[in-house]
Amino acid sequence: MASVGDQLRQARESQELTIPEVVDQTKMKTDQVQALESGDWSIFAAPVYTRGFVRNYATLLKLDPEALLNDLDVELGQAQPSAAKADGDSPLRAGVIDGLMLHFSGVKWRAVIPIFLIVTMAVGGFFAADYWRDYQSRDHLEGLGSGLNDAPVPGDEDQLPVITNAPPPAAKGS
């Protein structure tokens, strides 16, 4: 049985595709395509990325991605036993983060992000309109006390002493 890298390389060559054409169509880097074809899995940061690239490349070459991923698991030494434990204690091959990354790697973000932004703007517009409607119907002078508009009553402590027996000031210029 040929290795995963050999299967990918042979399929690419049989379809007369060059590595630059594969790079252009898959948006992978040249060294990643070369690593896939040579079976150098150490270039990838985690097995989830290796699986994603193999799936992407196999889809481009119209190969069965699941069969290649099963072969890849055998090559990486991650193949699960044929019969899982009945009590459900079979260990996971990858962590939760790797599983989430693999799951979200298939999402078409160019379609999801604009939809998310449109939904966010619609929800924000709804709440803004609701707030504006409430703001317009509210009495803005509610809560002002009756004493706020009355003139203050001066007390004795607020007045200066008035001297009544002082002579009037002299007029200037007379």
* Residue at 163 is within a domain: no
The identity of residue 33, as a single letter, is V
Residue 158 exposed, middle or buried by CB count within 10 Å (0-12, 13-18, 19+): exposed
Same domain assignment for residues 34 and 99:
yes
pLDDT band at 94 (very low <50, low <70, confident <90, very high): low
Q: What is the pTM of this model?
A: 0.45
Same domain assignment for residues 116 and 32:
no
Which of 49-53, 111-115, 142-146 has the lowest average pLDDT? 142-146
Q: At how many degrees (to 10) do helices 19-26 and 30-38 cross?
A: 110
Domain count, the chain: 2
Which of 30-34, 43-47, 83-87 has the lowest average pLDDT? 83-87
Same domain assignment for residues 116 and 68:
no
Same domain assignment for residues 49 and 112:
no
The first and second tokens of residue 35, run together, are 């690593």
* Residue at 126 is within a domain: yes
* Residue at 154 is within a domain: no
Same domain assignment for residues 56 and 116:
no
**Dihedral sign, Cα of residue 119, residue 111, residue 31, residue 66:** positive
- Assess whether pLDDT exceeds 50 at residue 85: no
Q: Which pLDDT belongs to residue 81? A: 46
Distance of CA 169 to the CA centre of its chain: 81
Same domain assignment for residues 113 and 64:
no
* Residue at 12 is within a domain: yes
Same domain assignment for residues 18 and 98:
yes
Same domain assignment for residues 25 and 111:
no
* Residue at 146 is within a domain: no
Same domain assignment for residues 22 and 59:
yes
DSSP category for residue 161: -
* Residue at 173 is within a domain: no
* Residue at 29 is within a domain: yes
| Structural domain harbouring 121 | 107-137
* Residue at 40 is within a domain: yes
Same domain assignment for residues 102 and 121:
no
Residue 24 backbone dihedrals phi, psi, to 5 degrees = -65, -40
Same domain assignment for residues 74 and 115:
no
Same domain assignment for residues 124 and 98:
no
